[in-house]
Amino acid sequence: MIDIKKVLCPVDYSVCSQEAFKYAAHIARTESAKLYLVHVIDVRSFGHESPLDSDVPKPSEDAIRRIKEDLTKKAADEVEGVEIEPVVVVGVPVKVILSVAEERKVDMIVMGTHGRTGIPHVIIGSVAENVVRKAPCPVLTIRHV
């Protein structure tokens, strides 16, 4: 029997991630599962990823707190009665999503096929593609139609 008690949904505020959230919320509600909403502030947008970029300004703790509050408020409006934990991390999206999935021992990841980067990919976005390939659990990808 499949037991889904923890669902992770990456949120980047794209149309695709909003669609994925609807599915994740439905699954969490139906299964009485905890819903992790993960927002990654891409470190590469502050400069390239290297030890030499330690002086590059990063979002403040207050900004991260506000993003968590926003995620929780928006989700609470949609998912009454579901336990929600917002996770906001500065990092590389694929690495953060996989790390949070492993750390929290999630049973399923629900994510959009394309994010807000605007980089065209033939079938599936690069973040979703890499998560599907490397995830420690099943991944449900949602395409915006």
How far is 100 from 38, CA to CA, in rounded Å? 8
pTM, two decimal places: 0.85
Q: What is the pLDDT of residues 62-115, one digit of tens each?
A: 999 999 998 888 888 788 889 999 999 999 999 999 999 999 999 999 999 976
C-beta separation of 10 from 17 below 8 A: yes
Look over the chain and give the mean of its residue pLDDT values, rounded to a whole number. 86
Residue 50 pLDDT greater than 90, yes or no = no
Which CATH class name applies to 6-142?
A: alpha beta
Using the predicted structure, report yes or no on whether residue 125 has a pLDDT greater than 70: no
pLDDT exceeds 50 at position 123 = no
Q: How far apart, in whole angstroms, are the C-alpha atoms of residue 25 and residue 36?
A: 10
Nearest to 10 by CA among 74, 117, 101, 137: 101
- Break the chain into its structural domains and give their ranges: 6-142
- Percentage above 90 pLDDT, the chain: 57
